[in-house]
């Protein structure tokens, strides 16, 4: 396949992402068919990709909440990279203040990620009738 490679380095192109490739070497001279190395080595190609898109589910836009402990839910975002996991951050914005948190407890139920958050723990001066914006980032 690479009979014309005479250098000690060789650049491979067009390798597929998330694949394992194996390699070895054969030493030849003008008098013999050559000898293969005892070892077969491998490497893995990996190009990091962002988690897949997802959507927020609840609470809905313009929901009126009747408790200071609120259930937040969104569709699960999957990471296309093998062995990677998705971490979620929730962002809250109120008037001129904003805060982001990494939820301490998440659970997934039929593809929906859930967490309960005590609004009082956000350190925003939210009172009844205030509007709070929220969004989630997956990384």
CA-to-CA separations, 83 to 35, 50, 65, 117, in angstroms, rounded: 37, 13, 38, 29
The ranges of the chain with pLDDT < 70 are 1-6
Instruction: Classify residue 27: in a domain, yes or no.
Output: no
pLDDT at residue 130, as a whole number: 82
Instruction: Classify residue 20: in a domain, yes or no.
Output: no
Contact 47, 17 (CB under 8 A): yes
Question: In sequence order, what are the beta bridge partners of 75?
Answer: 112
Instruction: Classify residue 70: in a domain, yes or no.
Output: yes
What is the full DSSP assignment across 104-135? S--EEETTEEEEEEEGGGG-----TT---EEE
Q: pTM of the prediction?
A: 0.65
Instruction: Classify residue 21: in a domain, yes or no.
Output: no
DSSP label at 120? G
Instruction: Classify residue 131: in a domain, yes or no.
Output: yes
Instruction: Classify residue 75: in a domain, yes or no.
Output: yes
**What domain count does the chain have?**
1
Q: Which domain holds residue 62?
A: 56-138
Between CA 87 and CA 90 the distance in angstroms is 10
Residue with tokens 């980032």: 137
pLDDT at residue 37, as a whole number: 92
CA-to-CA separations, 136 to 18, 90, 99, 105, 117, in angstroms, rounded: 27, 4, 12, 15, 13
pLDDT at residue 27, as a whole number: 85
Between CA 109 and CA 65 the distance in angstroms is 22
pLDDT at residue 14, as a whole number: 85
């Amino acid at each position: 396949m690479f009979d014309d490679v005479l250098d000690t380095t060789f650049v491979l192109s067009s390798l597929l992402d998330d694949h394992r490739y194996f390699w070895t070497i054969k030493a030849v001279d003008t008098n013999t068919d050559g000898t293969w190395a005892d070892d077969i080595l491998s490497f893995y190609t990996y190009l990091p990709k962002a988690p897949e898109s997802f959507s927020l589910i609840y609470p809905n836009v313009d929901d009126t909440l009747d408790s200071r402990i609120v259930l937040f839910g969104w569709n699960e975002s999957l990471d296309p990279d093998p062995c990677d996991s998705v971490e979620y951050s929730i962002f809250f914005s109120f008037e001129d203040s904003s805060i982001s948190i990494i939820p301490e407890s998440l659970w997934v139920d039929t593809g929906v990620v859930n967490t309960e958050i005590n609004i009082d723990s956000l350190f925003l001066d939210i009172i009844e009738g205030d509007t709070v914006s929220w969004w989630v980032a997956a990384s």
